[in-house]
Each structure stands twice: as C-alpha cells, then as structure tokens.
C-alpha cells in the first residue's frame, strides 16, 4: 500500500511538472479528502506532510504543513469545496494524471479510519470531474484498501508515515 501511494505521488508530481502546473491542486486534493469529515487527525496530517514534502522536495516543519493546510482551506472556503473538487479533477484530467491523483486521495483517506462516506463522496466528485468511470474507481479503491488481517489499529500503524 505505501509503495503504491509513494509511486502515485511521484507520478502526480511528474505529471504536474510536465504540464506546467504548480503543486497547489495536489495540496488541495489532499486537504479536500482529509477535511471531508470536518476534522483532520494526526494520521491524515502525517500523510499530508509526506505528500507536501514529496511535492516540494524538502523536509517540512509542522508549522509549514499547518500553513499549507490553512492556505488551502481558505481557498476552499472562498471557492467552495465542490467547485475546488471539480477544478482539481479537471486539472488531473488535463495532466493525464487521474489515476495517480485518485490514488493519492485514497492514501489520505485510508491514512486514518479508512474511507468514510464523506471521503468517498469527495473522491467520487473528483473522479467524476476527471472523467474516471465508477467501475475503475471501485477497482482503485479495492487496490488501495489496506490488506491487513489484523485489528484496525494495526492497519492504521501500517499506513502511518514512516511505517
């Protein structure tokens, strides 16, 4: 699972660079999913830090991560989360990076308690805006779902940053 998400982050960064986009939509992608349920837990924050560090190719302090999160939330409040999700989906499609983008979104969702109904709604919205068929989205969800036969705490630990 970690390797799939790491590869997706790398693919997404490369696609954005090739197509001349700045990383803001990738940051928004992570925030849209992480904040779908109205809260940001430590597991999600850790996954966002990994994504942001890969994007910016540097180590980030908690303060910088918090600033990126706050800035993204401000934009979403002004534009509306649904509008931002549609824009992110359109950019993913324009960059030929729909699958890596959805995998990164799923990595954020599965970083904590799993793919909640609110997170699924956001991922569906982004996938629809990007032109991804629902059957393919369902396949990606199953491929990204943690495959641990242990208790939920072990699943969260296996997805925790640095695991």
Q: In terms of pLDDT, which residue wins out, 92 or 51?
A: 92
The answer to whether residues 81 and 5 touch, using CB atoms and an 8 Å cutoff, is no
Global pTM?
0.82
With pLDDT > 70 as the criterion, what percentage of the chain qualifies?
88
Concatenated DSSP letters of 3-59 = HHHHHHHHHHHHHHHHTT--SHHHHHHHHHHHTTTS---HHHHHHHHHHHHHHHTS-
Question: Could you give the CA distance from residue 46 to residue 41 in angstroms, rounded to a whole number?
Answer: 9
CB atoms within 10 A of CB 152: 11
What is the average per-residue pLDDT within 57-78? 85
Of 48-52, 94-98, 140-144, 156-160, which one has max mean pLDDT?
94-98
């Amino acid at each position: 699972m970690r390797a799939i998400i790491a590869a997706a982050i790398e693919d997404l960064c490369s696609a954005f660079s090739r197509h001349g986009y700045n990383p803001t939509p990738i940051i928004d992608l992570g925030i849209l999913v992480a904040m779908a349920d109205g809260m940001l837990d430590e597991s999600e924050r850790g996954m966002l830090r990994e994504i942001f560090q890969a994007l910016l190719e540097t180590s980030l302090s908690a303060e910088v991560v918090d600033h990126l999160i706050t800035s993204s939330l401000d934009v979403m409040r002004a534009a509306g989360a649904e509008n931002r999700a549609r824009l992110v989906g359109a950019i993913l499609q324009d960059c030929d990076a729909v699958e890596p983008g959805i995998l990164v979104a799923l990595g954020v969702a599965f970083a904590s308690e799993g793919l909640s109904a609110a997170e699924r709604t956001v991922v569906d919205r982004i996938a629809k805006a990007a032109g991804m068929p629902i059957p393919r989205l369902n396949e990606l969800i199953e491929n990204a779902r943690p495959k641990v036969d242990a208790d939920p705490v072990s699943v969260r630990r296996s997805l925790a940053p640095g695991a």
